[in-house]
Amino acid sequence: MKIKICGLRRIEDIDYANLYRPDYIGFVFANSKRKVDYDTAKLLSERLDPSIIPVGVFVNEGIDNIVKLVKNRIIRVVQLHGDEDEQYIRTLRDALITATTDDVTIIKAIRVKSKDQLKEECQMSADMFLLDAFSEAEYGGTGKRFDCSLIPDIDKPYVLAGGVNPENVFEICDEIKKNNVMMPFCMDVSSSVEKDGYKDKIKIESMINAVRNLEC
């Protein structure tokens, strides 16, 4: 199983990632306390070990801005957290194909309300889905777990987010196993590896070790 550490915004965060080697890291370009601008993301991406894949996290972003970040190799995966629909995803994919020869993965985040709702939204043409808890807040992650029994048997890889931490990752996997559905491709964490609002070296190490030791 893969691991993604999201919301990196400092040189120290990149150094922690280079030391403990998550599979993915996330740069947030949407409005958030973890938001980074183009220049900061460029600086951090250049410092990132090439074996770690940088992901751009967006909410209703202009397609040209996303293409620019991919074309300049600041990000290699696109993660959509807003109201992006099927038409947006198709337009974005066409623009990425035109601008770059890279095969760019598109992840669409879905807030889980019900099994039927989730199964319907997973029909979109994104390459992968990120499943998070439902929240009344307009956008953004929740940091809270959702009922894993709501995960249907979908035919694309998915990323599991929302309240995942080193202490409960084994329990979460056991819950999903009981449902006889596909296991997550990746675990996504942000606030659970922070201390006083910033990424914490020890918590990152603990989270990565926990996922690496999973037997799913």
Q: How far apart are CA 115 and CA 112, in angstroms?
A: 8
Strands 24-28 and 2-6: parallel
In degrees to the nearest 10, what's the CA dihedral of 53, 59, 65, 71?
20
CA–CA separation, 208 vs 22, rounded Å? 7
Distance CA 68, CA 48 (A): 19
Amino acid at 181: V
Polymer length in residues for the chain: 216
Q: Active-site residues: which are they?
A: 6, 132
- DSSP classification of residue 35: B
